[in-house]
Structure 1
């Protein structure tokens, strides 16, 4: 709880598989001409066309298949005091957004209670809104056959069972911010769901062991270096921004996606300040091992994993091995970047005459050689 409050003030069993083509849910839900109800994130109350195009093109179509008509759903998108001194508290803003998206879903439902295929898209705060709508929708249906044809796509979901900051501290409350940490998103509903997180996103990939200062500091820095920006990445395999190392897991009704972050955010400020890139590249492998020690990557994304104070002792031996390997990797980076040593000359020295010797005695005293300038070094590709 204290870790969560600190972070807020600082910046406001399945097997994981790396894939080629991404799976879609068209076998479960036919979405040939569906409406996509699109919400945006905190401080983004009005949804514009560029956001709709990003949501549909980068996330909805690649994961669900089919064709969509984007329908903007405006929400309060407020979070006092970060979005403004007169704005709503977090819970109040979420409640207003939940009412808006439920009204939009109801508008898709005919008098018989059946709806046309509909997708609800949420990002960050609106992913919490989408989760609340999903939970209430599940409570309103008695059988799976009674369920409306609604599916969900959520990015940066605070309620992600293993990683979401809400789920890490479920039940906690920061009264000053009006923020109640909601329980993990349900995965046992009739509503197919896609949940996407970027590695080190403070809100969707929060450390499970927050007393690990490396992991916590890295997550805070990552907030300011793009880990919470999902417009820079995509799940469209035909897009050059797509990462083929994206991890996918299925848990209950939800397909989870985990997009890797190649450059460790914790070192980004030093890179921006012009620190030696080769030295930073050499340090990064060991530092990343220390950061990753703050996470539990063995627990599936769909299994609730609340925050705990200490890393299990059973992981100590593995951590030591990984750290030793990372240090060796860093040493190799330094060695590969070092300039080659000059080879000694093999030419035989010519004999000197007595006159040469005499002239050398009258020569100027030998001065200390100037320090040789190093050739510029380039950062190896990571």
Structure 2
């Protein structure tokens, strides 16, 4: 067996040196151009003229050769630089899967650890999201350190390339529609898992999926359960920003609906009876994983739409400090499932982010209205239990006492917080003086709507869910015309 050893940092340094050599050749050539091709005859005789012509011709040819050498140096430098980048990424993507090289990842765990059940050598397969079929090294290492290492410190990890296409949104990747891309991803994941389970030294497998690849995991779990749930105890899953989040996912809020042309089926919630150890991470107000339960609340809808742009992309590169603040969500009484649900609270409403992005004045202006707006937005949610599939409903019943109290409180907190913001920007004091109570800060359940128990406040069937199913059946007739 032969091995290929590389040192990307050496290649990068060599590329810099070679690039310097190329620059030196170019400067020397320019300086010597006149001296190597402008030789005058020593005398007026034919011999002197012939000698001068000979050396001038040689000088011209020399300049041409040096020019080619300079071009070669430039190409060689680019090749070395590209090779350094390629090898560095390849090592990060695959090195750990081959030989478990993870000493560089010796950061302390930041998330709450769990009683992990996998016992064999463990391989973590990490997938990207839409338009990211092969995540880069930064994505991989951060995902491993935040989501996987706290649960399985001894695991090795590697990238699992999947299509992650969404035609026509991702034309550069290919022509697969969302449904086709997810189906292909399920097949790839199944093959990769079986390869680990059936290796000469079997490995248990933990799989991480984000956004579209979280849907891959959801569909894979459904497939496993349809086949008798094999390998329970050997498999574990982590879903970040899943559209199939039972209480909040876009694909579970409107079960049975279908987006024609784009080919997106709303296939419902992650199975409640999932027997595999599973962890679900949702960011508050994410427009894919945490959409309003009551879509008649227009403010909540717009906020979630803005959350797609300002919140949905934050999962892979979340900081250690923010990850450590993830809140474990409650599950229904008597829940005996194997899935744990976590939420990253979102301090700044996505709805106000365009204002907040205005230099200096923007954050102050946003602070003046955000507490009251947060109350109005949160009326679009009845947080409830995380494990219960909760489709969208038409009518919520606000708690007038709580709503009035928090609106009044927000009106008092807003100017105080804005004043603190001015002081923070001026360097007069630190952010520790900001208010620490709702509605200045977010909450997983502020109690703005009455909760009458799961049967009434989180019914599995609503008028909207029945309507979305009927519409979905009709819309399935329309083919994905882009493919």
- TM above 0.5, yes or no, is yes
Q: Does structure 1 residue 40 correspond to structure 2 residue 40?
A: no
Match for residue 365 of structure 2?
279
1:2-28: CA deviation from partner (whole Å, max 9, x where unpaired): xxxxxxxxxxxxxxxxxx9714132x3
Q: Secondary structure at the match of 2:313?
A: coil
1:111 offset after TM fit, Å?
A: 9.0
For structure 2, which runs of at least 5 residues remain unmatched after alignment?
1-109, 435-483
Match of 1:162 in 2: 247
**Higher relative contact order structure (alpha carbons within 8 Å, sequence separation ≥ 6):** 1
Query: Deviation digits for residues 47-93 of structure 1, max 9, x if unmatched?
Result: 3333321221110122x233222132111111122112862211111
Q: Which of 408, 411, 425 is the matching residue for 1:327?
A: 411
The 2-side partners of 1:336 and 1:293 are apart by 27
Cα deviations across residues 339-365 of structure 1 (Å, max 9, x unaligned)? Answer: 9xxxxxxxxxxxxxxxxxxxxxxxxxx
Distance in structure 1 (CA, Å) of the matches to 2:430 and 2:153: 41
Q: Give 1:179 deviation, angstroms.
A: 0.5
Query: Contact conserved, 1:118 with 1:150, CA < 8 A, in 2?
Result: yes
Q: Distance in 1 between matches of 2:322 and 2:345?
A: 12
C-alpha separation between the residues in 2 aligned to 1:308 and 1:379? Answer: 45
Structure (1 or 2) with the greater helix fraction:
2
1:302 has 2:387 as partner: yes
One of 256, 260, 266 as aligned partner of 1:175: 260
Does the 8 Å contact 1:232/1:241 carry over to 2? Answer: no
Task: Name the residue aligned to 2:119.
Answer: 30
- The number of residue pairs the alignment matches comes to 316
CA distance in structure 2 between the partners assigned to 1:70 and 1:21 by the alignment? 18
Deviation digits for residues 195-218 of structure 1 (CA, Å, limit 9, x no counterpart): 111111111111111221111111
* Distance of 1:72 and 1:338 partners within structure 2: 45
Name the residue aligned to 1:247. Answer: 328
Q: Which string of whole-angstrom CA distances, capped at 9 and with x for unpartnered residues, describes residues 315-372 of structure 1?
A: 3443233222212222444677899xxxxxxxxxxxxxxxxxxxxxxxxxxxxxxxxx
**Using the alignment, how far apart are the partners of 1:77 and 1:61 within structure 2?**
25
Question: How big is the shift at 1:116?
Answer: 2.8
Compared CA separation, residues 219 and 167, structure 1 to 2 (3 A): same
Q: What SS class does the counterpart of residue 228 from structure 1 fall into?
A: helix
Q: Tell me the SS of whatever aligns to 1:151.
A: strand
Alignment correspondent of 1:51: 139
For 1:2-151, list aligned pairs within 5 A: 22-26=112-116, 28-30=117-119, 33-62=121-150, 64-84=151-171, 87-110=175-198, 116-141=203-228, 147=232, 149-151=234-236
Return the offset for 1:170.
1.2
Assess if the C-alpha contact under 8 Å between 1:98 and 1:129 holds in 2. yes
Specify every segment of 5 or more residues in structure 1 that has no aligned partner in the other structure, as ranges: 1-19, 340-375
Greater mean deviation of Cα atoms: 276-285 or 152-161: 276-285
* Range with bigger deviation, 272-281 or 68-77: 272-281
**Residue-by-residue CA offset, 1:163-215 (whole Å, 9 max, x unaligned):** 11101111110112100011100132321001111111111111111221111
Distance 1:39 1:276 in 2: 37
Q: Could you tell me whether the CA contact under 8 Å between 2:288 and 2:312 is conserved in 1?
A: no
Q: TM-score, normalised by structure 2?
A: 0.60
Higher Cα Rg, which structure: 2
Map 1:193-204 to 2 at 5 A: 193-204=278-289
Give the SS at the match of 1:171: coil
Contact 1:38 1:122 in 2 (8 A): yes
* Aligned partners of 1:30 and 1:66 also within 8 Å: no
For 1:202-281, list aligned pairs within 5 A: 202-233=287-318, 239-244=320-325, 246-249=327-330, 252-274=337-359, 275-281=361-367
Q: What is the alpha-carbon distance in structure 1 between the residues aligned to residue 380 and residue 274 of structure 2? A: 31
Q: Deviations over 1:224-279 (max 9, x none)?
A: 22443213425xxxx33434363344551101110111112211101223445333
